[in-house]
Structure 1
Amino acid sequence: MPRSATARRTAARSRGRLPSTWQRWSPTTAGTLAATVPRRRSAAQAATSPISPALHADQISIPLLIVHGAKDERVPVAQARGFVARLKKAGKVEGRDFTYLEQSENTHNLLREEDRRGLLNAMKSFLGRHNPV
């Protein structure tokens, strides 16, 4: 006989993990769960790790424009900051080898007009320096 949802949750908690679909409840609940439940790497994450730009920062030879919203709940801003740190550790210079724009009020979807405008201005400036026509 199938176990109830409550029984499955209790069993998952006792094993120290919860189904990933539960992280979709709300940002607050997901953040709480993510902080307390150890995350497992998915097959897709394991497959893409060897080709991650962050792991090969020393091999990047083209200028990069990196833009991230500090309030992005889908992709943590720590990932962008970590990538920037790896670029600097590899000897890359901000302003020459890469440009990093972190928008303090931006989310994953560029919901605010001023964030979209800021991104477009950053792109125009970046392309003007690195791809003049």
Structure 2
Amino acid sequence: MASVTILFVCVHNAGRSQMAAGYARTLGGDRVTVLSGGSAPGESLNPTAVAAMAEEGIDISAEVPQLLLTDDVRASDAVITMGCGDACPIFPGKRYEDWELTDPAGRGLDEVRPIRDDIKARVQRLLDDLLA
């Protein structure tokens, strides 16, 4: 089975990228190594994102926002950005995608669920493609 490393990046590494990382770990299992980071990491995860993922049976509550590291970009086969603009270093030969997703910050659970579901579908498509 193929093994790939995926890096998920958003500004605060507190919502979108953490949800995507949670899905990638769960759906990809031991076939993927998952990294995440932010250009300006927040102090803690978005509690609504944590609650939305818990509804899916995925616990991301122990995750901590991390600073995006150039070495993480270098180590990744695919780099998925979510609204971080030009903050991500670019290395030739990497797969880059920018996912336009609504930021869940400050939104209620009813507003975060569709964002979560969109992320899940995108992660599944990404894994299907990378692991084919």
Which structure features the higher share of strand residues? 2
Which structure features the higher share of helix residues? 1
Tell me the TM-score normalised to structure 1 length. 0.31
Greater relative contact order: 1 or 2 (C-alpha under 8 angstroms, separation 6 or more)?
Answer: 2
